[in-house]
Chains A and B, each alone.
Chain A
Amino acid sequence: MLKNTSRRNFLRGLSVISPLSYLSANAASINPKIIKTPDYFKALGVESFINAVGPYSSLGGAKMWPEVIEAMDYAITNKAKMNDLHNATGKRIAEMLGAEAAIVTSGATGAIIQGTAGCMTMGDSIKNERLPDTTGMKNEVIILKNQRYLYDRSIRAPGAILVEVNNLEELPNAINKKTAMLFYLLNRPDIENIDIETYIKIAKQYKIPIMCDAATTVPPIKRMAATIKYGFDLVCYSGGKGLRGPYSAGLLLGRKDLVEYAKQHGSPNHRAYGRSMKVAPEEYLGMMIAVETSLKYNEKAEFNRQRKAVKFMQAQLAIIPGITITINQPEFEASEPYIEIQWDKRYQITPKELKEKLRHGTPSIEIRALFLSQGNIHLTAVMLTMSEAQIVVQRINTILQKSLIES
């Protein structure tokens, strides 16, 4: 190691003070510390599993882009002031996606919560401080009855009240001076028949902000720009799913004023409603790089990879007697091919029992929740390698054959 004096002389000898980049280099090299990374998950008894469903939150989200991991590594080792980072990444993301403004949130739920809170308080600091008590505030959020879903719970988190309407004809009657926001869920065109343009037109006519939850509508990435162009005032995205960004990150995009109001409700503002929904430096930067990388990515190749895996599973399963396999490619949900498996009565097993057996076998296999698949068995290849796909079909076959013997 160099002596301090010689280091000082060395540094003093420079005419200008060394830039920071030198310092981190210097820091690591002066006192190299080699750490062997233990196999933590093994030591903790946490087993890996096969994900045949997709990048769900409870399953750890998507596989991050290598570019994202690298950017996160950079942000962990290079410090910046949080507000600088928050502002700069938001601005850049907005530019890339053609939105007026953007912020990184702690996830799509974080985006819904902050966006709803922003529409209720509209920048009024006294109202900001009062949430979730919304007495005397605009606090009604209108939602279409057939768009009620799991995550509308988050709209209520900052103190909003959900008001249901059956159709767009009922919408004008439901709007009153307490209406804070209109809500639209973009991913269920299969079960609804709502004209987005008319919905937005009514929102503009009554000057009520309209939020769109588009959390699960990427890939394809181009749908992001298209969704923004519809004219929603706010659009929410998940970061750790289709965009392959950090697990606890998401995006809120939209009108400059509304994004600014939403931002007031977020961390690191000490007394914000959303102070607890913290976003780390590596998540701000990682989210930005996730958008950038997704925009450059060859989606066709990825789609083909998934399709190949799905077709492989279809071919392997189709040879089992009494089994019907269909391949589906939804048009509006994230464009992920999946297969649906049905079997005849010779197999004495329900889809629910099969799902449980897959979950509790070794390795554990997770498939789509039955309430999202109309009770059928669905498999996707978003997170599957070919060898994992092989294990999945083998296990399904074994379980089915066993049900035959048992009956």
Chain B
Amino acid sequence: MNFRRTLLKSFAGILPITLMAKSKLNASPNVMENIQLSKRDYYKELNITPFINAAGAYSVFGGARMREETINAMRYAATRKVKINTLHDAVGEKIAKLTGAQAAMVTSGATASIVLGTAACMTGADEKKMQQLPDTTNIKNEIIIQKKHRYTYDKALTIAGGKLIEVESEADIYKAINKNTAMMFFLKPPTQIDDIISAKRYLEIANQMKIPCFCDAATTTPPASNVIAGVKENFDLICYSGGKGLRGPYSAGLLLGKTDLISYARKHSAPNDLSIGRGMKVSTEEYLGMLVALETGLTISEQEDNNYKRIRFQNIIRQISDINGVKTKIYRSESITNELYLDLDWDTNSIKLSKQSFIEALRESTPSVEVRLLRFSQGRIHLSATVMNEGEDIVVGQVIRQVLEQYS
């Protein structure tokens, strides 16, 4: 829709005929047809500076680039009314089937998955306790977490009233478990940290002590098939972000696991009026979009995704490879997601520019370009192509060229 809009509006005069002709092929085949083309450029009206995201699917940058299939599914759901719980039941069942989980639900994001999953482990099926939260008087509220697993989002474990109990060894776990223990939490980061207690051993202890074990695997995709692999590890609950590696809706996430726990987590969530999670609303387009994002992700090979990214990188490289002293390399991160990055470096003798100044210069350019922050890339300049549209690569290359040439 907007592709057509911007195409017709801004560049009819410049575009080669071939592009114009092909744009007609892109005419929306679906429900959006009856809606008038907008002549508005909302971001311009709001004075919002557009930017090209060469950094990755971060929440602050608006998350992932959804696939056309997902966007179309969201458009479909936006114009058709169904009962929320009926839709959620059907979508949950389908996601469970796709991933091999006993049960599944769509949440308003990985953080919501953690809040709702923790609440489920704290209250069980007891509706009176559900309504009492976050007051945990007479409710199990201790959450065991490895000290090394403390992170930004562990705040989510306390939202429903949970209390964190840190452990550093197996002996600590046994010592920490008591009648107030509600859950054992495990963080699975994309790059495995040196755990004192491995996932397997941690889960064994949890099972042995009959404590539900929750795994945050939010950032361990792509590929989407990592969800299937994660489910196979048999945590009682496991969660994923929807709007990042899975390329689903921005405010959507997944919670997968045991049927009983998922049913309690559902009770803790919207649209149930008396739930602690009533504010964490998920729309019909997000329920369906999340399902279609996962389904599409599972059918598209990692190879195909990587080819897309390689082409973006090659297009950037072509724009800058003849600049004296510039070195480029397509780099595969050694993590569970195998993410591809373009590593960019230059000889500071011929180009007198620090990496930090380079990042700032890209940000100040028109159009503005965001690349990964140095603290996330071990001080290197890394570009990501996961959120980059076709065509944006060439502009990114040109912006880089302009900045580097200024200092050489």
Contacts and interface: CB of A to CB of B under 8 A. Distances in A.
Interface string A18-35: 111111111111111111
Contacts of A37: 29-31, 72-73, 75-76
B354 interface: no
Contacts of A240: 283
Contacts of B91: 44
Given A29-B7, A29-B22, A70-B38, A79 B62 contact: yes
A81 B25 CA distance: 30
Contact of B156 (A60, A80, A276, A283): A276
B336 to A, nearest CB: 21
Given A37-B73, A271-B152, A275-B156, A383 B278 contact: no
Contact of A276 (B66, B111, B271, B318): B111
A10 B279 contact: no
A248 B152 contact: no
A280 B395 contact: no
A26 to B, nearest CB: 4
B129 interface: no
A25 B78 contact: no
Contacts of A151: 273, 278
Interface in A244-278: 246-248, 267-268, 270-278
Contacts of A216: none
B29 A48 contact: no
A230 interface: no
A19 B367 contact: yes
Given A83-B60, A153-B278, A247 B46 contact: no
Contacts of A105: 279
Nearest to A285: B42
B318 A8 contact: yes
Given A25-B15, A73-B75, A35 B60 contact: no
A232 B398 CA distance: 52
A218 interface: no
A73 B159 contact: no
Contacts of B159: 132, 273, 276
A2 B3 contact: no
Contacts of A72: 78
B325 interface: no
Contacts of B270: 57, 107, 109, 248
A82 B48 CA distance: 10
A243 B327 CA distance: 54
Interface residues of B, number: 126
Interface in B6-55: 6-7, 9-11, 14-16, 18-20, 22-23, 25-26, 29-32, 34-36, 38, 40-43, 46-53
B112 interface: yes
A25 B22 contact: no
Interface stretch (A84-92, A188-196, A310-318, A389-397): A84-92
A382 to B, nearest CB: 12
A26 B391 contact: yes
A20 B389 CA distance: 10
Contacts of B9: 21
A40 B292 CA distance: 9
Given A27-B390, A276-B115, A58 B274 contact: no
Interface in B352-408: 365-367, 387, 389-392, 394-395, 398-399, 402
B367 A17 contact: yes
B139 interface: no
Nearest to B366: A17
Given A26-B390, A28-B23, A78-B50, A47 B367 contact: no
A28 B278 CA distance: 38
Contacts of B133: 157
A198 to B, nearest CB: 30
Given A58-B271, A60-B81, A60-B82, A73 B112 contact: no
A79 to B, nearest CB: 5
Nearest to A275: B111
A20 B273 CA distance: 43
B100 to A, nearest CB: 19
Nearest to B272: A58
Contacts of A60: 81-84, 87, 284
A198 B280 CA distance: 34
Contact of B90 (A21, A44, A267): A44
Given A27-B392, A270-B153, A17 B75 contact: no
A371 to B, nearest CB: 11
B85 interface: yes
B10 A51 contact: no
Interface in B224-280: 243, 249-251, 270-271, 273-280
Contacts of A23: 52, 389, 391-392, 395
Interface in B273-327: 273-286, 288, 292, 315, 318-319
Contact of B26 (A29, A61, A63): A29
Interface string A282-303: 1101000100000000000000
A358 to B, nearest CB: 13
A75 B42 contact: yes
A2 B17 CA distance: 11
B356 to A, nearest CB: 19
A162 to B, nearest CB: 11
Given A19-B367, A247-B285, A276-B279, 10 more contacts: A17-B367, A20-B392, A20-B395, A29-B22, A40-B76, A41-B82, A49-B81, A57-B270, A66-B36, A278-B251
A-B residue pairs, 10 tightest by C-beta? A248-B281, A25-B7, A278-B251, A28-B3, A247-B283, A276-B112, A132-B134, A280-B250, A26-B391, A88-B46
7 contacts: A2-B18, A10-B16, A37-B29, A45-B90, A51-B81, A248-B282, A283-B283
